[in-house]
Amino acid sequence: MSNPSYARVIIDRSIHRELDYLVPEMLAEKIGIGSRVRVPFREKSALATVVSLLDETDATGIRPIEAVVGDKPVLSLKLIELSRWMSAYYCCPIETVMRSLLPQVIRRAEVGWKKQLVVSAAKPITPEELEKLRRRAPRQAELMDAVVKLNGPIPAAQLLRQTSLDNQTLRAVEKRGWITLNEEAVARDPHADEVFIASANLVLNSEQTAALKVVEESLAAPEQAKPILLHGVTGSGKTEIYLQAIHSTLARGRTAIVLVPEISLTPQTVERFKSRFSEAQDTVAVLHSHLSEGERHDEWHKIHAGRARIVVGARSAVFAPLENLGLIVVDEEHETSYKQEEAPRYHARDVAVVRAKMEGAVVLLGTATPSLESYHNAMQQKYRLLNLTERVDNCQMPLIRIVDLRLERRKQKVAAILSEKLRAAITSRLEKREQTILFLNRRGFSTSLLCSNCGEARDCPNCSVALTFHRGAARLSCHLCGHTAAVPKKCPACSQDTLIYAGFGTEKVEANVNQIFPDAVVRRMDADSMTRKDSYRETLHAFRTGKIDILVGTQMIAKGLHFPNVTLVGIINADLALHMPDFRAGERTFQLLTQVAGRAGRGETPGEVFVQTYTPFSPSIQFARHHDFAGYFQQELEFRERCEFPPLNHVVLITVRSAHEGRAQLSAETIARRLKEALPAEFILSSPTPAPLEKLQGQFRFHILMRGAAIMRLSRLVRATLDKLPLPEDVFAAVDVDAYQLL
């Protein structure tokens, strides 16, 4: 059979179309579907990915491929298929999708393996020779003393470090022929210095056993299996089910991906996977955003070459180039961080479900608080629902108490940060030497600086939000764009000495707690206090070993952490998430309360949770208090039905932005008019409105919201409408399918 003569490629740049090129005979052997190639494009050359091979083409003016990048195709046929699906579903050019699929270091193939010099013994040295050497060149003899004791090759740097000798000595010994020096590729393993102690399977309780049985049945017949939603209360041992399911997957000769929210991808999490599968060093690869380019290169190739068989990672690990994929686990499937907020605006959980289907793999979604979307799918029998209602080791669910801040305010005359009840609870924990977590989803000291004379607030010049005061840094800062400003002494508007600080964040909670409990050890954990690479790990370690009494923090402390000695959790203000202008506000509040409350009582002593709120009767708070997910789901679903929101419909949000307010508004109105002509009546189109966050990073923003059930059709119509509409140069329109960020 002759080699195919043409290749169809997708160029890395946004041109919205695929192009055909001639495959030169001398490259034919090396080019396959998924290969990276360099092709002539317009006057220059460009990088591209081969998506199909053709015997003939109708295209004219065909030019030959210039070169192949890398040794092997980097994308499988399945992953190319997945890109096409994402492009259509998320209304996004395929070249943008491809950019997400392949890390930049792989696309460009500029970073290679790290090379190191390795020493191996060459010819044996006789005792006589060694004695002679000792007299004439004592340092070389010292080196040879170390070499004869070696069991095998050793990195030169390590040998020199051990012997305190230098490179010159090494080269001299090499010249005499006793050793050889070779350059070898080494993996940059970010976990190389850690020792993982092998762990064995834990004994499952009856609920876990039943759940694992269903997962294993699915693994045996993945083609017929539905996605599985594992709804297990906090502390019910979901991770153990993942681990044993992965074990079965590997035993079937297949591979597995575990997605974890970036914030939960802690050393503790990685360790659980690495130690369970420690039989071969490379079995587990870890992908997250803090890897260096070199580490990312190495982890990616470890997966691509088939050495790693389990990939643990954040959002983009859903694209890990594993062959023979058998299982995708999505832990904390309700987490909104699975949604990427820049193009392609995909949701990793939904992509996981689609990829699993394409690859004939099983997908396992786990959570203590299912998203409305996933739970609705389970109720519709599209997903298989498995329940874990008990905590492992018979730990009890924490007791949740609601503190009505309205009453508290009347009692204390001021808006106190800690209610009397919470204060008393902390005191008793300090006496018993138990630990407390205080949660507030807002960092900084004061959330705004107001003038009591003229009412003027210090807003960010680029965004329509107030600047937050950070006492540690002694500056005002914008949490959206990072703008900072000095703290004025007088009101810049009326020049009076009447500035007051209002609202509070974690920094003030910490200060307040320190003041009330001067003898307690208090630490804060948020984006401001965790700036060094190791500070997160250090603080967690200090907390775990009991060196901290009270930990104050943002969502950084809400997720998946397990501390047996924490018996009290205080939620400083439960209303923060509730009053966001977002139809998911209630859902987020329920999830957050349940997750944070879940940090209490993971040991032998039952936990207690205090929820401080001005709206004690809000359904999200009441259902969370009673650990009643089913009740909460029914009530929330009715609300979503009434307003025709997800999960009953898909939403598509177009954000039109420009530094010029009038042009942004005009463009939004034009787009909405064209959409109105293009969309059939089954789709709901809202009029363009200023976004709740009207100005962000100096850009004025307008929203157009669409809703409908047939999402593929809606996406296609939106794409077609926008493609036909030239926007002014300084106006941008972003399409977000299944939007989560509605601000």
Contacting Zn ion (CB under 5 A), which of 463, 466, 704, 737? 463
Closest CB 495 distance from Zn ion, rounded Å: 8
Q: What are phi and psi of 585, to 5 degrees?
A: -55, -45
Rounded distance between C-alpha atoms, residue 357 and residue 227, angstroms: 9
Classify residue 262 by burial, with Cβ atoms within 10 Å: 0-12, 13-18, 19+. middle
Closest CB 609 distance from Zn ion, rounded Å: 34
Nearer to Zn ion, 210 or 457 (CB): 457
Contacting Zn ion (CB under 5 A), which of 176, 307, 421, 483? 483
Part of the chain binding Zn ion (CB under 5 A), chosen from 162-170, 430-438, 491-499, 604-612? 491-499
The phi-psi region of residue 381 (left if phi > 0; otherwise alpha if psi is between -120 and 50; otherwise beta) is left
Count of residues in contact with Zn ion, rule CB under 5 A: 14
Nearer to Zn ion, 409 or 483 (CB): 483
Contacting Zn ion (CB under 5 A), which of 478, 592, 596, 653? 478
Nearer to Zn ion, 309 or 443 (CB): 443
Rounded distance between C-alpha atoms, residue 431 and residue 414, angstroms: 27
Closest CB 442 distance from Zn ion, rounded Å: 16
Q: Is 659 in the site for Zn ion (CB under 5 A)?
A: no
Q: Is 462 in the site for Zn ion (CB under 5 A)?
A: yes
- In DSSP terms, 7 is beta-bridged to 21, 53
CB contact at 8 A, 233 and 368: yes
Closest CB 576 distance from Zn ion, rounded Å: 19
Q: Is 451 in the site for Zn ion (CB under 5 A)?
A: yes
Q: What are phi and psi of 696, to 5 degrees?
A: -140, 125
- How, if at all, do strands 19-22 and 6-11 pair? antiparallel
- In DSSP terms, 347 is beta-bridged to 339
Closest CB 494 distance from Zn ion, rounded Å: 3
Residue 297 one-letter amino acid: H
Nearer to Zn ion, 463 or 731 (CB): 463
Nearer to Zn ion, 22 or 493 (CB): 493
Part of the chain binding Zn ion (CB under 5 A), chosen from 31-39, 248-256, 408-416, 481-489? 481-489
The three-state secondary structure class of 319 is helix
Closest CB 358 distance from Zn ion, rounded Å: 41
**669 Cβ partners below 8 Å, 6+ apart?**
688
Locate the DSSP E strands across 343-395: 362-367, 384-388
Closest CB 197 distance from Zn ion, rounded Å: 47
Nearer to Zn ion, 64 or 698 (CB): 698
Nearer to Zn ion, 70 or 698 (CB): 698
Closest CB 405 distance from Zn ion, rounded Å: 29
> Six-digit token pair at 247?
């074990």
- In DSSP terms, 706 is beta-bridged to 652, 685
Closest CB 263 distance from Zn ion, rounded Å: 23
Q: Is 491 in the site for Zn ion (CB under 5 A)?
A: yes
- In DSSP terms, 180 is beta-bridged to 120
Rounded distance between C-alpha atoms, residue 403 and residue 381, angstroms: 39
Contacting Zn ion (CB under 5 A), which of 46, 204, 379, 481? 481
Rounded distance between C-alpha atoms, residue 691 and residue 701, angstroms: 6
How many CB atoms within 10 Å of residue 166?
Answer: 12
End-to-end CA distance of the chain: 58
> Six-digit token pair at 231?
């709804």
CA 704 to chain centre: 27
Q: Per CB under 5 A, which of residues 713..732 are in contact with Zn ion?
A: none
Nearer to Zn ion, 116 or 484 (CB): 484
Part of the chain binding Zn ion (CB under 5 A), chosen from 70-78, 494-502, 553-561, 575-583? 494-502
Contacting Zn ion (CB under 5 A), which of 480, 502, 585, 648? 480
Closest CB 731 distance from Zn ion, rounded Å: 20
Classify residue 574 by burial, with Cβ atoms within 10 Å: 0-12, 13-18, 19+. buried
Q: Is 204 in the site for Zn ion (CB under 5 A)?
A: no
Nearer to Zn ion, 449 or 568 (CB): 449
Nearer to Zn ion, 491 or 653 (CB): 491
Part of the chain binding Zn ion (CB under 5 A), chosen from 172-180, 237-245, 448-456, 518-526? 448-456
> Six-digit token pair at 234?
């906090």
Part of the chain binding Zn ion (CB under 5 A), chosen from 272-280, 337-345, 368-376, 453-461? 453-461
Closest CB 657 distance from Zn ion, rounded Å: 14
Q: Is 466 in the site for Zn ion (CB under 5 A)?
A: no
Contacting Zn ion (CB under 5 A), which of 280, 305, 494, 643? 494
Give kind and range of the element (H or E) at residue 52. Answer: strand 44-54
Rounded distance between C-alpha atoms, residue 732 and residue 707, angstroms: 21
Rounded distance between C-alpha atoms, residue 238 and residue 230, angstroms: 8
Q: Is 513 in the site for Zn ion (CB under 5 A)?
A: no
Closest of 420, 326, 357 to residue 226, by C-alpha: 357
Closest CB 666 distance from Zn ion, rounded Å: 25
- CA-only gyration radius of the chain, Å: 30
CB contact at 8 A, 151 and 247: no
Q: Is 493 in the site for Zn ion (CB under 5 A)?
A: yes
Part of the chain binding Zn ion (CB under 5 A), chosen from 121-129, 200-208, 424-432, 474-482? 474-482
Q: Is 111 in the site for Zn ion (CB under 5 A)?
A: no
**116 Cβ partners below 8 Å, 6+ apart?**
155, 156, 157, 183, 184, 186
Contacting Zn ion (CB under 5 A), which of 453, 464, 484, 615? 453
Binding site for Zn ion (CB under 5 A): 451, 453-454, 456, 460, 462-463, 478, 480-481, 483, 491, 493-494
